[in-house]
Amino acid sequence: MVIGLGIVLIVLGLIFALDVINIDTSLIDTGTLGWILLIAGIVAVVVSLIVNQQRSRSTHVVEERRDGGYPPPR
């Protein structure tokens, strides 16, 4: 899920940074906003991949023991 958000941020960042769409804003510099979104998207994708890789490495071993000598309690 975070990978998708990171990709969206990267695309929006490239759109603003490369001036694909010219939006007339006097309060915000769209080039700077684009680079910030681009970096945030790259960080989101990298962190998501690292967390996913660590999650797949950890394996939980479940051991089930049954004692057959005693009848179950009533």
Residues 3-27 have pLDDT tens digits of 999 999 999 999 999 988 877 778 8
pLDDT at 52 over 90: no
| pTM flag (> 0.85) | no
Nearest to 2 by CA among 71, 34, 70, 50: 50
Spans of all domains in the chain: 2-54
- Residue 74 CA to residue 70 CA, distance in Å, equals 12
Band (pLDDT 50/70/90 cuts) for residue 61 is: low
